[in-house]
Chains A and B, each alone.
Chain A
């Protein structure tokens, strides 16, 4: 990242979803390389507008000069976070993991509160937007499932992330079933939030705390011969890119070298001839919303490649739009209009495809797009499992 390489071509500006929706945000060029020339360690950070950046990284991907405006802005956000008191919403979402963990224990109560008008009022008072159904907390988390034990050669440790853990453990189980059907041994390593919510809310210390704990755990599994796989593209991006960069985690390089997106991993198994999946017909037209962070991972769209092997499935790739939610970004009341406006643009494009459902790798994208469009949303794993007729393996769960 070098802000001096900027040739001021404004290509990043054209790609910034926030700038399009919210005129208060000066855009990646001004907030990134332009403002960087005026940032000084000796003066207090006054660039509050950096917090408006949703960290979608679209500016990074589009810049022809390798400037990485989002990374410059991310650092400015951390600095602003350090030097200014945080709002309740920032603190809450930075600590999303603990909040969710608590919510999971108190699931029945938490869901009721979140669903009531009073609950919504409480959330609004804390600065949390409630325009889409707030994710429902699930009672039994994946972390408490027993390790899956099948005899196999390929071994993976699954970093499932908070979304699957707290909101959609069923998808986590589908992933385990799918990989088991491929004769891959899946274990669930001890893990914590990847740290992105903390980073996104300007809390570098907490992000590093999570990252260090995860890195220690994942690193052990790598030493024991496991590959790491992830399904959430934002967790994946954080582990592969933020651990080595902004978080400076010592084991980060080793981890990045051995970490795969779940579909990238399946493609690898096919390329190596380890598996020869027989995809069965699925007659459906899907709109594939590419999460910004999958784009930013630079691994192409492996799930699209797999879905293209399914007979009868029509799957239109849409990667021009951010969903607007960006993890916890859109849940903050002050960002709500921006998030809705960005999301509606994505939905308008999805509606043009005439698809009957939305498929997407990222749980929070699906929440946003499903909420705004009313369409069914699917994880690519659900589509693959259906085509392969994978029966859901019943895992014994530890008592809650």
Chain B
């Protein structure tokens, strides 16, 4: 009786890896997910960008350049992946609002709008126009959140400051989980006699119970309440990560934390096992198929050296967008840096091309030609390609 044989080993605990893992575990496969650390989802706004280039994300996807990996995903699979995501999140208690047919606007801390497709319910009440007046509550000492940016774009809006006794995002979010703190906060909020249409907060309204906290505040003051995403530490990003992780576990998936894959065992065209670093014996896990979801540069899937770009685990050939001096534009904030196209080229099964290896499937940010920043397609592309990779994996194993 083998207890450690898995059908599928997933590399990476990002939106892509966890989604592929949940899909497979939910269909009875034995799945292990290994990860070196926590994913970029924790740094994100928690909003699911599908394609922000067009008001209708599905139309936007059709307009993407031919090399874009979205074109490898059948239209119905994109919709299926978003529906599965929304159903799972409602189940786990952090519902997402929105549909695949139209993008929504999310008010940013700068007062501008971010375009996204599915947004956490705690951001649902954000105004979709520039006219509605907003009362922005900020917190004494909280860094990187300045209501005056928003007010400079909306002169009918106001702000007030609450002293939570702590000033870090984590600290304030923890306080909100405390019922007595919430009670006295609401008393204070009522005393502000707010006239504006809606009330906005930086996204610090709790970690585990954010949905209820937003509801409680909203019913107490009788006004719509919403969160504005902050730079990391990002509570909505962490809530998303936690929910995906819990969902994967609920379906029977196993997670190996602190498990950076540093080596592989091969036999011909087949990968048999992956190994991690350890102070003692090599730790390895066997699987029939492997899903590579280690992300791009920030996630740790790719490393750029002076001369080349390396895929860190299987040393798969990496599509490089040209000689090094063309990787970056002069404008630091440009969305067009060519390096955004670096990654792994795949076929329609999301199997890497130009390699003899047969049982690896690739999904998420590590794919070539994603240009995630430019097209606003981070988590959405991860959800969609994870579904394709998982299905290919199923077919391969059968």
Q: Which of A32-40, A89-97, A134-142, A296-304 contacts its partner?
A: A296-304
Q: Once the chains are docked, how many angstroms separate the CA of A305 from the CA of B257?
A: 15
Query: Which of A11, A256, A267, A306 is within 8 Å of B280, CB to CB?
Result: A256
Q: Is the CB of A65 within 8 A of B300?
A: yes
Interface of B is mostly: loop
Within 8 A of A (CB), among B1-53: 1-4, 32, 36-39, 42-43
Instruction: Give the complex CA separation of A62 and B1 in angstroms.
Output: 33
- List 25 A-B residue pairs with CB atoms under 8 Å apart, sorted by A's residue number: A9-B232, A14-B42, A15-B38, A19-B168, A21-B174, A23-B167, A23-B168, A63-B37, A64-B37, A64-B38, A65-B300, A240-B280, A256-B279, A256-B280, A256-B281, A257-B280, A257-B281, A270-B3, A271-B4, A273-B1, A300-B254, A305-B3, A309-B3, A317-B249, A349-B208
Give bound CA distance, A311 to B8, whole Å: 24
Extra contacts besides A23-B165, A62-B37 (7): CB < 8 Å? A11-B43, A13-B168, A258-B280, A259-B280, A298-B257, A299-B283, A300-B32
A14 to B172, CA, bound (A): 12
Question: Given that A64-B37, A66-B260 are known contacts, is A298 also in contact with B299, CB under 8 Å in the complex?
Answer: no
Residues from 235 to 286 in B contacting A, C-beta threshold 8 Å: 238, 242, 249, 254-260, 276, 278-281, 283
Is A11 a contact partner of B279 (Cβ separation < 8 A)? no
Q: Which B residues lie within 8 Å of A276 (CB)?
A: 1
B224 within 8 A of A: no
Q: How far is the CB of A361 from chain B (nearest CB, A)?
A: 15
Please tell me if the beta carbons of B279 and A20 are within 8 angstroms of each other in the complex: no
Chain B residues near A297 (CB-CB < 8 A): 258
Q: Is A154 an interface residue (CB 8 A)?
A: no
For A75, list chain B residues within 8 Å (CB).
none
The residue among B170, B232, B280 with the most chain A CB atoms within 10 A of its own CB is: B280
Whether, in the assembled complex, B321 has its beta carbon less than 8 Å from a beta carbon of chain A, the answer is no
Residues in A neighbouring B276, C-beta threshold 8 A: 298
Q: How many A-B residue pairs have CB under 8 A?
A: 117
C-alpha spacing A66/B165, complex, angstroms: 33
| Closest residue of B by beta carbon distance from A275 | B1
Q: A residues within 8 A CB of B283?
A: 298-299
With A63-B37, A241-B279, A267-B4 given, is the CB distance from A13 to B233 under 8 Å? yes
A258 to B276, CA, bound (A): 17
Assembly CA distance A245 to B2 (angstroms)? 33
Task: Tell me whether B4 and A11 are in contact (CB under 8 A).
Answer: no
Residue of B nearest to A297 (CB): B258
**A124 sits at the interface (CB 8 A):** no
Residues in chain A near residue B42, CB distance under 8 A = 9, 11, 14
Contacts of A345 in B (CB 8 A): 177
The 8 Å CB contact of B258, one of A9, A13, A61, A252, is A61
CA distance A276 to B3 in the complex (A): 11
Query: Does residue B75 face the partner (Cβ distance < 8 Å to A)?
Result: no
Judge if A244 is at the interface, Cβ distance under 8 Å.
Answer: yes
Q: A21-B174, A63-B37, A66-B36 are in contact. Are A298 and B259 (CB under 8 A)?
A: yes
Q: Which 7 A-B pairs have the closest CB atoms?
A: A256-B280, A64-B37, A298-B258, A257-B280, A256-B279, A61-B258, A10-B233
**What residues of A have a CB within 8 angstroms of the CB of B281 in the complex?**
256-258
A13-B256 in contact given A63-B37, A256-B280 (Cβ < 8 Å): no
Chain A positions 304-359 with a Cβ under 8 Å from a chain B Cβ = 304-306, 309, 317, 319-320, 345, 349
Output the least CB separation between A174 and chain B (Å): 21
Chain A residues, Cβ within 8 Å of B260:
66
The 8 Å CB contact of B279, one of A15, A16, A64, A253, is A253
Residues of chain B within 8 A of A296, CB atoms compared: 258
Contacts of A267 in B (CB 8 A): 3-4
Residues of B within 8 A of A60 (CB): 258
Q: Is B92 an interface residue (CB 8 A)?
A: no
CB pair A298 B256 closer than 8 Å: yes
Measured CB to CB, the closest approach of chain B to A235, in angstroms, equals: 15
**Contact indicator A14/B3 (Cβ below 8 Å):** no
Residues on A with C-beta less than 8 A from B194 are none
Q: Is there a chain B Cβ closer than 8 Å to A7's Cβ?
A: yes
What is the chain A residue whose CB lies nearest that of B208?
A349
